[in-house]
Structure 1
Amino acid sequence: MEQHSAARFAPLPDRIGHVGGIEALTLDGRRHYFGLDYRNDLVLSPLIDDPAAMAAFASEHMRQTTGTHDAAYWADLVAAAADAGEPGRVGTEGETVPGGAGDGMSDAEDHLLYLLGAATGWDDWFDQAPEVRRAYERLGFDEEETEFVDHCLQAVREHGARARPDEWAVARFHLTTAAQHLPDNWRTLLTPLVEDLMNRR
């Protein structure tokens, strides 16, 4: 049964054997689990909606700092992820982290951006669109800037896309390109949320 559950979900290329833990999130009312390499902010698994399958997947393809472990060990971590306060909820019905949005971007949007980055690695895609790189440079961002998409979306939210064309060009490019590069079922489940986020600008 354990091997059968693990076989339902293929590992992500180049992410086998990473040290990580289990996170849970809710997409449109359905709970999903995924592996996460906390040190590198890197997603390690598809989104898995079956706790037993998540535990089986982790036992086959993930590690902890103490090494490999069986599915029973990982099942405890899956249960803990389910019981803990979720790091965030994203969905088309406006779910947000408990406590609501703070100043600036909503928690749901902020969490979605984090997931996009963790799932894709926020690769440098500027070579595909030199005009977007020029907009990025005009805005004064440098190579070490890690939250430029957040800043761009915040500026567009406050002033509108027409008033902030460079910010909108950078944010739109990275969101649409990230959606195209999402692995496995992350693309199916998160792309509608990315489209909804862009349509609300």
Structure 2
Amino acid sequence: MEQELTEHHAPLPGRVGHVAGIESLTLDGHRYYFGFDFRSDLVVSPLIADPDAMAAFAAKHLRQVDGRHDEAYWADLVSEAVEYSELVADDADREFTTAGLRAELPEPDSHLLYLLDAVSDWDDESDLPPDVQQAYERLGFEEDEFAECIDECLEAVLEEGSAARSDEWTVLRFYLTSATAHLPGNWVLLFGPLGFGSAGQSDRSQSSR
């Protein structure tokens, strides 16, 4: 524990100096804090387990609308992030387990998907592989509708399974793999199991319904 308390947390590349608040989540019963720029829908820090370390990180790398603040100021915001979130109304939406992430696909329009989009460096406007592009076009989506496509693909795969909705599964699997492959810092702690386990999840999701 002593080593964790004194651990240096490097900022995420290109995400220093943001106007941000503090959010938190739990993974396997352990709470992690992180900075979040609400105006940009952007995660702006690694996951940090120690409250004091989170306050120190924020004092050095983040600011509020009125400028920078000291660690004591940020410590209050860190403490509030345990009980309160500006991103979710239900605390259960920010509680995760590695086993659950490996076993099931995320729900459409969920907090988990929102966080993945907010933290990943993957650009959804980049060129799609030919098989994914063809599946995407067959589904009838325009070039700028990728986010909407992911939610609809999830709904279809969760309802009918990957075998019945192969185009949806092709697009969805590509997104989960690509987004998790472009995670900065230690966010792989949360999303790594989601990407690595996605290849076989859809059939299990269907069979559990």
Q: TM-score, normalised by structure 1?
A: 0.83
Runs of 4+ residues deviating >4 angstroms? none
What 5-or-longer segments of structure 1 have no aligned partner?
A: 96-104
Q: C-alpha deviations, 1:24-63, integer Å up to 9, x for none?
A: 0001110000011111111100000000011111111111
2-side partners of 1:137 and 1:126: how far apart?
A: 15
1:152 is matched with which residue?
Answer: 153
Structure with the larger RCO, 1 or 2 (CA within 8 Å, 6+ apart) = 2
**Residue 89 of structure 1: aligned partner:** 95
Contact 1:47–1:185 (8 Å) recurs in 2: yes
Alpha carbons 1:91, 1:193 under 8 Å: kept: no
Kindly state the Cα deviation for residue 11 of structure 1 after the two structures are TM-superposed: 0.5
1:79-117 deviation line (CA, Å, top 9, x unaligned):
00012264522223549xxxxxxxxx648x822211110
Amino acid at match of 1:23: E
Counterpart code for 2:94? G
Q: Decide which moves more: 7-16 or 121-130.
A: 121-130
* CA distance in 1: counterparts of 2:135 and 2:182, whole angstroms: 22
User: Which structure 2 residues correspond to residues 9-88 of structure 1 after superposition, within 5 A?
Assistant: 9-84=9-84, 86=91, 88=94
**Bigger shift: residues 164-173 or 183-192:** 183-192
Q: Which amino acid aligns with 2:194?
A: L
Q: Does 1:195 align with 2:196?
A: yes
Q: Tell me the residue number matched to 1:174.
A: 175
Aligned pair in 2 of structure 1 residues 6, 73: CA closer, same or farther (>3 Å)?
farther
What's the Cα RMSD here? 2.4
Offset at 1:7? Answer: 6.6
- Tell me if structure 2 keeps the 8 A contact 1:55–1:75: yes
Question: 1:90–1:111: 8 Å Cα contact kept in structure 2?
Answer: no
State the identity %.
Answer: 55
What displacement does 1:143 show?
Answer: 3.5
* Separation in structure 2 between the aligned mates of residue 39 and residue 140 of structure 1, nearest angstrom: 31
Contact 2:98 2:190 in 1 (8 A): no
SS in 2 for 1:152: helix
Q: Which residue of 1 aligns with 2:87?
A: none
User: Which ranges in structure 2 are unaligned for 5 or more consecutive residues?
Assistant: 85-89, 203-209
